[in-house]
Every structure is written in structure tokens, then in C-alpha cells.
Structure 1
Amino acid sequence: MWALLNIPQNWPMHLKIAAILVQPKYIRLYKFRVKRLFEEYRVTRLSALILPIFFYFISCFIKFRAVKKSTAKRRFYQLYPQLKPNQLSFFDPLRFIIQSLYLLLSKPNSESDFWHKLSYFLRKAWVKIRLFDRFIIQKSTKIWPVNSNPHNHTLINSIWRFHSFRWLTYLLISVVLFVFISVPFTISAQAAFMGLILLVAYPMRKVPGQLATIIMITLSLISSSRYLWWRFNETLGWQDWQSTLLGTGLIIAESYAWLVLLLGYFQTINPLKRAPVALPDNPDLWPSVDVYIPTYNEPLSVVKPTTLAALSLDWPQDKLNVYILDDGCRESFKEFADSVGAGYIIRDQHIHAKAGNMNHAMQHTKGEYIAIFDCDHIPARSFLQLTMGQFLKDKKVCLVQTPHHFFSADPFEKNLKNHTKVPNENMLFYGLIQDGNDMWNATFFCGSCAVLKREALESIGGFAFDTVTEDAHTALRMQRQGYKTTYINIPQAAGLATDSLSAHVGQRIRWARGMAQIFRIDNPLLGKGLQWRQRLCYLNAMLHFLSGIPRIIFLTAPLALIFFNAYIIHAEFLAIMLYVIPTLMQIKITNSRIQGKYRYSFWGEVYESVLAWYILKPTTVALFNPSKGKFNVTEKGGLNNNEFYDWNISTPSFVLFSINLVGFIIATFRLFFEDPQTIGVLLISMAWTAYNLVILGAAIAVAAEAKQIRASHRVQANIKGNIRLKNGHTLQCTVTDYSDKSVGLEVVDLIDHTVKPTDEIDLLLMAGKKQAVFTTKVVNRRDNQLGLLLTDMPVERQKEFVLATFARADAWIGWQKQFQHDRPSFSFKQIRHASWRGVNNMLFHAPVIAKPFVNLLIMGGEFIYSLLPKQPKQEPKNEYF
């Protein structure tokens, strides 16, 4: 070849290549290649100049003519999916090198059956684990039957009554636990110990009964306490001031999380699940009840259904009085109250917000008991029937609280489109925690859907107004006086959730500020009147609203190593893995068992991440100055005609997300230059950062406000009824959904009848014990389904419709049964999808001023992703069926 080109054979290779390149035909070919790369493949000028020289150099060693170009090209791009034939760039050689190293190091031999053997081994191991699960379940059920009543074990109970035996047992358990927690282990011993705990706990999660829950809680406390002991005794050897400062913040946040975990287990270890108490057969023995409906700036359309439902409560009418407490002093409300027979109370001085409004009403009413409903909470007609028996059974009961149920989607459900698919934020508290509080006589008053004893309220001077959470503070004061509070976990009212994320955050800010104020001015840990169990329940509630700083620390802690090279956990890579990963797994599976249908795994961290920044300031200020802050009314019933992204409320999450993303990108580059001895710790920080990005991405997704164009929220239902057509035929139907203005039906045999839009038909439903007839107009029809609009609705007819729909005794009974038990892996998949949607929404709705920065982040992310090695594409197989 060299002789044909008139190039001496003994020249060095670089001179030979230079001699080739300077020949006219090769210069013309080079110009053609550069022009084609620049114009057709749209590469940069620098890449267009360098890439032809690179390929010329390769051609000196590889005979391309001996290879079929189409086959080689196809195979090349299968092995190197990062490289695009029509999108060449300057960094393609780097991508080529990285992918080549990946293929050399990790590509399995196609002729080997290693991967088939590994897959078979994993499947076989999984089958053995499942068989072990079943064995544990069968044996534990025999040892401790699920339906057995501990009170029937008379011998155990008689021995347990001896205080000395009880305290000796407590002491022995404490000593054993302390040994397990504090004894130092080698790395191998720690691995064996945590492996044993997980081996016992993992199958135990499916064992029914209370004993299995206690075992899992015990194992979780051992592993988490052992981790914290290890952190304090072996990982605080910080070398510089940055590591000391940042590491101290992390260890304090971990201690806070451990304390909250411990109190949470105590609070929910044995939910009471109190049943209603039957009332006397003689209604003359039933007490008188005043129903308060406080309102300030809510529209009459929100207050009206609540008032009509309250007037329809199953209670002797001479012992039931309903009052609208209008702090807005609106004439239209007074006219409505007069028209339906409800009381109407206003006041001259609007002080102390909701608590002052109700205290003023107590001066003008005389009922023995006071039922309270927020103006958007529509009570079921059976509300008093299910709650009042507790007062007649025990004269020391001062409060009966029922759940707050919402028939509209809250911002998390609405914006993430998971309404009725994922338990909402309130469900853990009202489904589990309040039942746990009830076990320890520490039920909180929640401001609505509750009945209180007037005598108990008067003994403490009325509703507490020293804090912005008058409800919890009122219950605390009554409990200090020796009264009992109870909880019935049967929803007997339903209302509107907050309409927007900003309103939701504002509501939580008020709760956080109020609990911090209580902690300062009436600390449940101090003072007389409370049992230690009640104090711990209140302490956990208050610590929950102090989670702002710890949550922000957890969201930024891994960046200490990435940005500042600060080793906040002074331990080797393997020790961190063996202490952290098994402990987190044990906590997750234990909480998944306890919280099951009330809070799915990982969603609590999303809720806390959204609120962390906003509750940080008010709680901190309230701890130092408890008198600062005012009561804010949560807006309900709002509309949103357009989708938009709430940048104001999502700014903290966006900033944290951006910082973590930059940190992850920097850490990716550091992998190529890091000391091999420290690369393991860097990988841990990267994994932690990636997890934070997923959580923050989901938090960002909540700020994309969805449309809310319906003035009336629709409620899913299954109510049997009938319709009467214009021709006189009566057909059976099922109400599938309803609002206060419309109804959706599924009609039997509708296909045989002619029904078209604008036709008027009568809807027949049971309203209490009688049948009511509602005049409706057809607005749409699809096969056997009808959409009806209610017409001719005077007040009496509206009352009957509320009684037939919102106020039915069984209207909200199935609120907890629609959710499957938590599966952590599936829950994390939901979080991941929500996170991806959140990032897309954020980028799509980015403001103009942030577009350059957002575009830079996108380009950086795409660039990093393009450099990562990828699995080669497989050859398509010909399959015959």
C-alpha cells in the first residue's frame, strides 16, 4: 500500500499518515467528510474536523473492506446504543471508550449458562423463603391463636397482677435488650445478627395476631437502637470542623427520628377499636344536644348541606338544637337559618377566632352536650346514635371524637391523580393513631365531628383560645381535670378537603404552630393531671410537627461528602452498609405491617418533604415566642379553571431538588478520580442522593395544580332507587355518583325505552324512613347510564336529598376497606412515577427567568445519561407461533 502511494516503507507511522493526508484527493475527501458531518449530521465544527482523522487512523489497522458494511454497522450500534449514526458529537469517543470497558468487564459469555443457573438459584431460594413464611405462620398460629382472648388466660393474668413480678419482668427484658443493643460486634458478627433479625421479621409480617406485631416491633427497636448506639460510640471521630458541624446535625436528626419511631410504636401497638354503646330504649332518658356549625367566610352553598343534615339527625326534636355561628355576620345566612328552623348566633367582638365564636355561643345555649361540625362537614343522620351512648355509660367521658372523612380529593390525591388509590395524608391519624391514643385515654379533640360535655367545658373555662389549635388544647385541659376522651373509628360525617396545595400547607402551618405553642405554655410533660401514657402520646404529636429541620437535614446530608469531602459518618464502607441497610429494611417492613391500609411506605416522607420548610419557621418562632401567630381559616369550595404550576409553594422543594441533582452530577464525575479506598462511601452518598431526588420529585409533582371546574364535588355511591319516566313506566336504578346538584344513574332495562336529553323524569330514593321524589332533567345518556340534573329544589326538597345521599347512616362506612395492604416495592414504584411526572411538570411550567437554568439542568442530565454504559441491544429473534 505504501509503495502505491510513493511513501518510503521505513518512514515512521505518523509521517506516513501525514503524507497520506496531504495528498490532494485525500484533502478533497476530507473536506467532503467535514462538510457532510457538519451539514447533514449537524455536529459541531470541532467534531467535524476531528472525527474523520480519528476514523482514518483506525482504518490503518482495521480492513473495513473485508467486513460487510451493513452488518458491521448494525452490530456496532447494537453494542454501542449511546452512539447515534445521525447525531455524532465531540464526546462520542469518550462514550465509545466507556461502553467498551463495560462490555469487556461485564458482558456475559453468550455460550455460558451462568445466568440461567443464577436465575434458577434465585427462584429456588425464593421458593424456600416462601415455604419458610408459611411454616412460621402455621406454627405461630398454633402457639398463639389469632382469635384467642388474652383475658381468658386466668393463670397469666393472676400472676401479672403482682407488681413485683411485673417490674421484675420489665427489668429482665430491659437488661436483655441492653445487652443486644450495646455489645460490640465484628463486621461478620453484625452481618449474622442483622441477617437473623431479618430472617425472623420478614416472614413474621404476614403472621396474623397481636403477638407477631409485638415481635416485629421488638426486633425493629433492637436494630434501630443498636444502630444509634453504634453511631454514638464508633462513628463520631470527625477530623475537621466541617465534618464535626455537619455530622452533629445528622446525629441529632437521627436521634429525633429514633425517638419518634419509639413513640410511634408505643402509640399504635394496640389500637383500642372502641365499639359504640347502645342508648336506652326510652328516648326520654336521652340528653339534650346543641349542634354548633361555626362559619366565617365560607359560601352559603357549603354551609347549607351541613345545616340541613344536622336538622335531620336521628334525635328527639325537642332535645336537638342546631345553630349557625356566623362570624361573618351575613344577612343571607340569617335568612337561610330562619327558613329552615335553625338558630343563628353572631357576636359584636370577633376575638379568639373559632374558639371565641363557640365560647360566645355557649353563653346563649343550654344543651347538656355540644356537637361540633365544621361548616363543610355533613353529618350522617346516625351520628348522635353512635356517639352519645359513651357519655351515658361513663359519666367521666367528656369527649367522643369520630374521624374526619373527605369526599373530595386533597391536593396530593388530586394533583397526583391517585384519589381512592393511595390512602390520603389524614388516614393514618384517623384510621390508626387516634385508635392508639384511645387505648391510652389520650384521644385528641380535632375541632369537628365530635361531641363534648358542657359540664367538662365549663370546668376549664370553655374552649381553649391561648393557641391556634383550640381543639387539641381543649382536650388536654379536660384530661388534666380527670375527664376521659374516647374515639369511635366509624366515619359519621364527611367534608371538603383543602382545594389547593397552598391552602393545605397553610392549614398544616397552623397546626404546627399550635402544637408548638401548647408545648411552651401548657407542656403535657409537665404539670399535674396526666398519666405518663397520655404525656407520651402528646409528646409524639408535638414532635411530629417539629420534623422540619430533621427532614431538611436528611435531604441534604449526603451532599456533605460530595461538596465538602466531609465524612459525617466516620466508618468504613462495609460497616455503614451492614448497620444502615438492614435497619432501614426492618423499620420499613414493621411500619408496613402496622400502618398497612392507612399509610403506604415512602409516602410519609413525601408529605414531610412538602411541609418541612414551611413548618420550620412557625414552630421555631412559637417555641421562643408562643404568643406570636394568628388563626387562619382554611378555604374550601374553591374552583380552578386552568392547570398551573404553583412555583411559590414549590420553591423550597425545587431548590433542594436542584442542589441534590448538582451533587449527583458532581459525584458521577468524582467516581473517575476518587481514591479506590473511599469510592464505596461515595457510592453510598450517591444512592442516598438519588433516593432524595425521587422523594423531592414527588414533592414537586404535588405543586402542579389540576383543574377543578366543578362547583360541586361528585361522590361515588351504590344507592338503590327507581326512576319514573314520562310514559309512567317505573324502572329500577342504582345511583353511581352524586353531588348536591346532579346524579349519575345506572338503569336496568333502559335500553328498551326512549330517553333523550332534556326529558324530565322523577327520581325516587329513600330519605330516612320515607320515600322522596325528586324532579330531574336528563343531561346525557350512554347505553344504560343517565346523567340527571336536579330541578325544582325548594329547601324541604334539598333537605330530603341530603338525607337520601350525604347523610345516609352507611354513607361513609367503607372508607378504609377500599385500600389494599401496603406493598413497599409497589409503593416505591408509585413514588418513582410521581417523581418523574413532577420533574416533567416542573420543566414544562418553568418561568421564563428560570428557562436558561432549567435547560442547563436538562442538558447536564442528558449528557450524564449519554455517558453511562448501557446493555447492548439484542438481535431480533424469529419466532413462530
Structure 2
Amino acid sequence: MNDIGILWLIFIIVTLFISYYFSKKNFFARRLLYTTFLVVNFIYLLWRTSFTLPESGVLSLVLGALLLIAEWAGFSQSIVFTILSWSPFKRKEAVITAFEELPRVDIFIATYNEPTDLLRRTITACQLLEYPQNKLNIYVCDDGDRGEVRALSSHLGVHYIRRDDNTHAKAGNLNHAMTKTNGEIIVTMDADMVPKYNFLTRTIGYFTDSDVSFVQTPQVFYNADAFQYNLFYEDRITNEQDFFMRQLEQGKDRFNATMYVGSNALFRRTSLEAIGGFATGVITEDMATGMLLQTNNQKTVFVNETLAVGLSPETYADLLKQRDRWARGNIQVARKWNPLRLKGLSFMQKLLYLDGIHYWFFGIYKLIYLLAPLLFLVFSIYSIDTDLETLVIFWLPAFLSSQFAFRRIASSKRTTFWSHVYEVALAPFMAASVLGELILKKNFNFSVTRKGVQSQNRQILWRTTFPYVLLTIFSLIAIAMVNLHLFTSIEFYQSNDMLIINIFWIFYNLLAILVSLVISVERPRFRGAERSNVEISGYLISEFGTKYKCNIVDLSESGARIELVDTISEGQLDGGSLYLEIKEIPKLKVTKQWISQQANHNYMGVSFQALSQAQYAALISILFTHSKDIYSNQTYVNASLFYVFLRFLKHSRKTPKQLERQRMREKVKLKGKLSTSKNEMPVTLLDYSLNGCQIKSKKKLRKNQRVELEVNYHTKEKVKARVMWVQKRGGTYYVGLKYIHDTIELGA
């Protein structure tokens, strides 16, 4: 390595370390870091373009060109990231008191096939909003035309809207609701999104500016996403969507380019009417609608606060379906409303929307990165032709600057290697989605992401694992060939420099590929409702009025885990009714599910019975509308890949406590009858507990279906239940049912 090259490396590395160290608090140092990052990456790409394209054959030249294009594409996205992060931006608060008279607000809760207990949670939270009730109307917009949703709406005293068809899916549903309502402000809320009590008071003040067309708040998720959950990393990494929802959306707000994300948003009705309502003809109607509402100097606002929380896709399979929909939808928007040709957008708005569409090509770029070292090591097809010394001079500063700059841009909400993991995990499927949409232009059915998923067993997504298994096999073949080349007389490679370069990338990629394999192993989900850790004191009350002091440790709307403070034997809790009393909620009737001793403390699991709506609303207030914001400060903590594999192996071998408790079931073999909304069928009851049972049937049932079970044992009283899982063995269906303990009478 020549002296100039050494001095260049020393200068850049020292500059990067100094600017990164001071950039957290010093504005000038941060800009110096970002500038250095862009300059050294631009220099690296100029060198790559001018001197490194292989000339050893047509295949090598094509692959080299594709790799170079992928690198330039990544750099273009880096420029946009840097622009969004160049100047910190936060909206000045707009107070609701600026209105002389508050506007009428219509809340649209769009639903198609979501479980009614999920809808009940959202509706109840909307009823707890701080806003004059005579100015607020809640509409359940049911595109599934379900009797149980109509009954739920009637019971809770909110409006119910249905239509005769499902034209244009969610966008058509919302547009139809607009024709039935007249509020000045329209709020769109997904069926799983639960607003905080101050959702309206913190957002509606921005509409005092007559040019504001919509206000967006971030989608924040209270459950672990598929990456967090399947990797047993709930406490170490953030939700994969947090970086976009909090960092990028805030940066876009500076350029009046906030993206509408489908929920948690408020619209001026007249602005929507001016563009013909919510955009139709594309899957991602939200992105298109927001873009159209930003034309002709209309203003949009992003309020970067946790003002609503909801459910992210609960399985990896559902996450892939969601991202497939987003990828194809963005291509459709570009085809119908190309940002470059859309009149009324500023230069920065066009750039940011174009970058958002371009982002979904990452799957193609990442596959090129994954295949390039494999093709060299296995088939001797070059993608780059240089020597190691020159590569280090140009590539190492670019690589290090990317690590430092991204870490500062992401503010510990993301790391470069975890971004690599996410992209590798999604790459094969997103590449197929984008290429399929570009080439086939096929009309796909709109699919709603499943909510409230429960499963009893660990599942390997074999179809999903196929590309990762294939990549792993080729990586192992490549490593074997490298070992033969290095430690035997067999020679596969002419250039040792190129060998070292590709060995680095093969191991770098293989780590992410192996993590993707782990993600494809779905953990069981036993609970229908997420539990929240709480610290609430209360009393457990026996049927005879005896009070036992206790602490509620975790809580959901269906049950709780409590610590028994007073000395008590399990026998004292058997027989008769039990009640739980806490300050915020009147006496709750509960059923004991289990009791255990852990480290000299007695713990008990209880399920709630026959909740009144007042009790249910109080629970929702504690859990959601008035709960602390524990989501905004989550960061990547000790999130090394070593611990990914260690925790996966360690926890996968354990029997979860939830499963141990659910196994406390009585085995039986009783004949019975199951009733659905359409027919009746004979079934056999195989086991039961206080929460649910398992049956077998010759006829198929679907998940989340409501049923009534009648068993020929002591009494023929019908029990309401919901189908949680279905497994087919031969010609027989085995079905898991969860009993519905509810005060609301709903249709099957």
C-alpha cells in the first residue's frame, strides 16, 4: 500500500471517529460526519465505475454491471436519508383551544374480517377520547357485512355502515362511509388500532390552518413483531417499522411530504372531496391519497408522538403478505400517478415519493449482493476485478462511514447490520413481488392482515425457508471449495486477492441468511390478547367476602396474573365465586386458572367473567388509553447475532409456562353438536378446560369463526366459542375452541 493510500486511510478514519464522537451533541460534527459519508462513498463509486468492471467474460461483465447498479442505487437512497436527517425537525404544538368552535369529527373504523373482540377494544377506546361527545361520531364501516359486528355496534351505541359490494376494498369502504356522514374532520382508524385519550386534542389543532389537508400520527405497535418474537428478542430490538414510522416520517414532514400510512390520521373532509375521496385502483390507497392531498401547496402534518397503538403482523407469513401488498401497491401507484409527472408537487416531494417507490426494489439489489460472492466462489464468475490493497483504500472508508453515519441517523432505532438482516430476510419475496408486478401486471386480490392469531405448536414455514436453505447450501459449498483451495493441492481460484474479498462477503451474508432461517420458525402464540406489565394493588375477594391482599403483575382485557401478598392456601380459593377489586375498576368476577409458587411468592392466573361494559372500558383505559408510552424509547440493546442463536436454542427447548397451564385439561370423549350461522354438525369433544376445548369434526371450520357448542353431558346448555386453530389429519378436522365470556349477544 503506497504512502498516499495510507495517509488517506488515516485521515478519513480519524475524521470519522472524531466527528462521530462529537456528533451526538454537536450539530457541526454531525454534518461533518454526514458530509464525509457522502463524499467517500461517491469517491468509492467513481473508482468502482472506472476501474473495477470485470472483463473476463460476458457473464462476469453483466454481473459486474448489475452489482455496480445496485451500489449506485443504494447510494441514491443514502443521499435521501442524509437529506431527511440533515436538519432536526419537530412540529410546533398546535393547541385545540385555537378553535373558536370545535369541528365535528367522524371516526371511521374500517373492518372486513377482524375478530369482534379486537373491534370492541378499538370502539371502546374511541368512546374514551377527550372530545365533546356532541361533536364526535364513531362509525364501524363493515365490509364483511357481519351480523355480529352489527350487534356489537348496536350494543356499544355507535353507528354501523355496510355496503352491498366490496369494490375497491378499504378505499371503497371509506368512500362509501363519506357519503353517509357529514363531519368536518374524518379520522381513519384500523380495526386493531387503539387511540390514546388525547389523540384528538393533540392533533386537531393543526386544522386551524385552512391549508392543512391531513394530519398523520405514527403507527406504534404494542405486540412483538415476527422478527422480535421468533428470535426471542422482544427486549433487545425495536419493531422493524419504528425507523420509518418515527425517523423517516419526521424527516419527510420538513418537506411537507408526510406519507399517509392508512390509519391514525385525520383529514379535512373538503380536501378529500376535492380529490374525489380516497384513491382507488391501487392496493396502497393510503400512499396515493396522501400524495394527492399534498399537491397545489396543501399542507400536511406529522405529529411524532405515540397517540395510538395497534397490532403488527403476528406471524412471519403474515408479515411477508403485508410487505408483498405494499411492494406491489407502490409499483401500481407509480404506474397510475407517477410522482415525476404529477402536477402540483414540489421538487422535494417528488424526490421523496420517488425514493419511497424505489425503496421496494431493495429485494432485487440484495439478491445481487447475495449471489455475487457465491457465483465467484462456486462458479468463478467475477463481479468485481481489483486487488485487495486498492480495494481497502477505497472501500474501507466507505464501509466505515456508512456504519457511523447510519448509526447516528437512526439514533439507535436501527443498526446497519440489522438492516442487512431485515433486507436479506425479505429480499427473495420482495424481488418476486416487484418483478411480478412490473412484468405480469396481474390483478391480485386484496388481503387483510390477520389479527388475534393463536397457535399451539411451533411451525417451520417450509416454503419460506426454501430460498434461505438454497443460499445456505451454496454458501457451505463455497466455504468447502475455499478450504480445498487453501489446504490442498486443488486450485479453484486464480486471484487470492479476489478470494479474500469474497470470503468476507460470504460470511457477512451467511450470518443474515441463518438468522432468516431462524425467523422462519414460528413460535407458538397461546394468548388471544397481549399482556401488559402493571403495578396495581388490589384485593382478591372470596364468595364469603374474605379479602386477600394482592398485586396485579400483568393484565389484559381477558385476564391477569396476580401475586398473593397475604398467606393463603389453594384450598381456600376452591369452590364458589372469586372477585378481584382494584381502585380503578368495580368488583371483577374472576375464575382461577392456575396457582404456583416462585421464589417464595405465590402467583395466580385468573380469567375475567361476564365483564360489564363499564368494567371493560376501565380495563381499556388502564391498558391503552391512559397507559405510559413505553414504546418511543425502545432501542437496540445487546442485539448481537451470537445471542440470537444462543437464545433461540435455549428457549426453543423450553416448554412455555402458557403451554404447561393449557395442558391442565380433562381428557374426555363426548358426543356433541356444533352450530354455526349456516348449519349444524356432529362433533366429538376430546378435552376441555375452563378456557376452551378441543373437538374433532368431519366438516371444515375456519379460524376466528364464531360457533355454539352443545355437549351431551349433564346439561345441554350451549356454549359460545371462537375457532382458534384448525388441523387436518386424514379426513378429520381437529379444532381448538376458545370460550367467549362476554356480556354481548353476538351471532355465530
Q: TM-score range by the shorter chain?
A: 0.7 to 0.9
Could you state the TM-score of these two structures normalised by the residue count of structure 2? 0.81
**Contact map agreement 1:646 1:705 (CA 8 A) in 2:** yes
**Contact map agreement 2:538 2:552 (CA 8 A) in 1:** no
Between Structure 1 and Structure 2, the one with more strand by share is: 2
Give 1:704 deviation, angstroms. Answer: 0.5
- Give the counterpart letter for 1:652 in structure 2: P
Partner SS, residue 145 of structure 2: coil
Q: How does 1:349-748 map to 2 (within 5 A)?
A: 349-392=165-208, 394-624=209-439, 628-671=443-486, 672=488, 673-674=490-491, 678-718=495-535, 720-723=536-539, 725-726=541-542, 735-746=552-563
Give 1:785 deviation, angstroms. Answer: 4.6
**Contact map agreement 1:303 1:376 (CA 8 A) in 2:** yes
User: Which of the residues 580, 605, 611 maps onto 1:793?
Assistant: 611
Q: Does 1:263 align with 2:80?
A: yes
Partner SS, residue 206 of structure 2: helix
Alpha-carbon separation, structure 2, partners of 1:507 and 1:446: 13
Between Structure 1 and Structure 2, the one with more helix by share is: 1
Give 1:735 deviation, angstroms. Answer: 4.1
User: Which of the residues 203, 221, 230 maps onto 2:38?
Assistant: 221
Give 1:781 deviation, angstroms. Answer: 5.5
Could you state the TM-score of these two structures normalised by the residue count of structure 1? 0.69
Tell me what 2:152 maps to: 336
Which of 346-355 and 396-405 deviates more? 396-405
- Give the counterpart letter for 1:352 in structure 2: H
Q: Deviations for 1:85-143, whole angstroms, at most 9, x for unmatched residues?
A: xxxxxxxxxxxxxxxxxxxxxxxxxxxxxxxxxxxxxxxxxxxxxxxxxxxxxxxxxxx
Partner SS, residue 633 of structure 1: coil
- Give the counterpart letter for 2:459 in structure 1: F
**Contact map agreement 2:541 2:547 (CA 8 A) in 1:** yes
Tell me what 1:325 maps to: 141
Tell me what 1:858 maps to: none
**Contact map agreement 1:765 1:804 (CA 8 A) in 2:** no
Give 1:819 deviation, angstroms. Answer: 2.7
Alpha-carbon separation, structure 2, partners of 1:628 and 1:837: 44
5+ residue gaps, structure 1, are: 1-185, 842-881
Partner SS, residue 166 of structure 2: coil
Q: Does 1:188 align with 2:3?
A: yes
Give 1:450 deviation, angstroms. Answer: 1.3
- Give the counterpart letter for 1:247 in structure 2: G
Alpha-carbon separation, structure 2, partners of 1:614 and 1:542: 16
User: Which of the residues 74, 90, 113 maps onto 1:273?
Assistant: 90
Cα distance change of structure 1 residues 313 and 721 upon mapping to structure 2, 3 Å threshold: farther
Tell me what 1:803 maps to: 621
Cα distance change of structure 1 residues 444 and 338 upon mapping to structure 2, 3 Å threshold: same
Q: How does 1:776-787 map to 2 (within 5 A)?
A: 776-779=590-593, 780=595, 782=597, 783=601, 785-787=603-605
Alpha-carbon separation, structure 2, partners of 1:509 and 1:715: 31
Tell me what 2:742 maps to: none
Alpha-carbon separation, structure 1, partners of 2:554 and 2:280: 40
Which of 773-782 and 550-559 deviates more? 773-782
Alpha-carbon separation, structure 1, partners of 2:406 and 2:166: 44
Tell me what 2:695 maps to: none
Tell me what 1:305 maps to: 121
Alpha-carbon separation, structure 2, partners of 1:753 and 1:832: 42
5+ residue gaps, structure 2, are: 655-748
Alpha-carbon separation, structure 1, partners of 2:45 and 2:326: 30
Give 1:239 deviation, angstroms. Answer: 2.9
Cα distance change of structure 1 residues 834 and 196 upon mapping to structure 2, 3 Å threshold: farther
Which of 430-439 and 201-210 deviates more? 201-210
**Contact map agreement 1:601 1:828 (CA 8 A) in 2:** no
Alpha-carbon separation, structure 2, partners of 1:836 and 1:691: 21
- Give the counterpart letter for 1:764 in structure 2: I
**Contact map agreement 1:271 1:432 (CA 8 A) in 2:** no
Alpha-carbon separation, structure 1, partners of 2:527 and 2:648: 27
Alpha-carbon separation, structure 2, partners of 1:278 and 1:401: 16
Cα distance change of structure 1 residues 707 and 839 upon mapping to structure 2, 3 Å threshold: closer
Tell me what 2:49 maps to: 232
- Give the counterpart letter for 2:510 in structure 1: L
Cα distance change of structure 1 residues 213 and 733 upon mapping to structure 2, 3 Å threshold: farther
Alpha-carbon separation, structure 2, partners of 1:276 and 1:731: 47
- Give the counterpart letter for 1:594 in structure 2: I
**Contact map agreement 2:532 2:623 (CA 8 A) in 1:** no
Alpha-carbon separation, structure 1, partners of 2:6 and 2:143: 63
**Contact map agreement 2:54 2:382 (CA 8 A) in 1:** no
Q: Does 1:288 align with 2:104?
A: yes
Q: Deviations for 1:816-844, whole angstroms, at most 9, x for unmatched residues?
A: 22435x67xx6454466589899999xxx
Q: Does 1:775 align with 2:600?
A: no
**Contact map agreement 1:494 1:812 (CA 8 A) in 2:** no
Give 1:371 deviation, angstroms. Answer: 1.1
Give 1:731 deviation, angstroms. Answer: 8.0
**Contact map agreement 2:541 2:580 (CA 8 A) in 1:** yes
Alpha-carbon separation, structure 1, partners of 2:426 and 2:83: 25
Alpha-carbon separation, structure 2, partners of 1:272 and 1:596: 14
Which of 630-639 and 829-838 deviates more? 829-838
Partner SS, residue 418 of structure 1: coil
**Contact map agreement 1:246 1:560 (CA 8 A) in 2:** no
Give 1:518 deviation, angstroms. Answer: 1.5
Alpha-carbon separation, structure 1, partners of 2:68 and 2:237: 32
How many residue pairs get aligned? The number is 642
Larger Rg: 1
**Contact map agreement 1:701 1:834 (CA 8 A) in 2:** no
Partner SS, residue 373 of structure 1: strand
**Contact map agreement 1:524 1:535 (CA 8 A) in 2:** yes
Q: Deviations for 1:7-34, whole angstroms, at most 9, x for unmatched residues?
A: xxxxxxxxxxxxxxxxxxxxxxxxxxxx
Tell me what 2:731 maps to: none
Give 1:721 deviation, angstroms. Answer: 4.7
Which of 642-651 and 232-241 deviates more? 232-241
Q: Deviations for 1:405-454, whole angstroms, at most 9, x for unmatched residues?
A: 22222111111110131112111111211111111111111111111111
Alpha-carbon separation, structure 1, partners of 2:647 and 2:392: 28
- Give the counterpart letter for 1:684 in structure 2: I
- Give the counterpart letter for 1:796 in structure 2: A
* C-alpha RMSD over aligned residues: 2.7
Alpha-carbon separation, structure 2, partners of 1:678 and 1:625: 41
Q: How does 1:67-82 map to 2 (within 5 A)?
A: none
Give 1:630 deviation, angstroms. Answer: 3.5
Q: Does 1:345 align with 2:161?
A: yes
Alpha-carbon separation, structure 2, partners of 1:661 and 1:357: 51
- Give the counterpart letter for 2:620 in structure 1: V
Alpha-carbon separation, structure 1, partners of 2:491 and 2:526: 55
- Give the counterpart letter for 1:711 in structure 2: G
Q: Deviations for 1:713-770, whole angstroms, at most 9, x for unmatched residues?
A: 212334x4533644878788654322120123457xx24567854562332243xxxx
Alpha-carbon separation, structure 2, partners of 1:839 and 1:241: 47
**Contact map agreement 1:325 1:345 (CA 8 A) in 2:** yes
Alpha-carbon separation, structure 2, partners of 1:819 and 1:251: 33
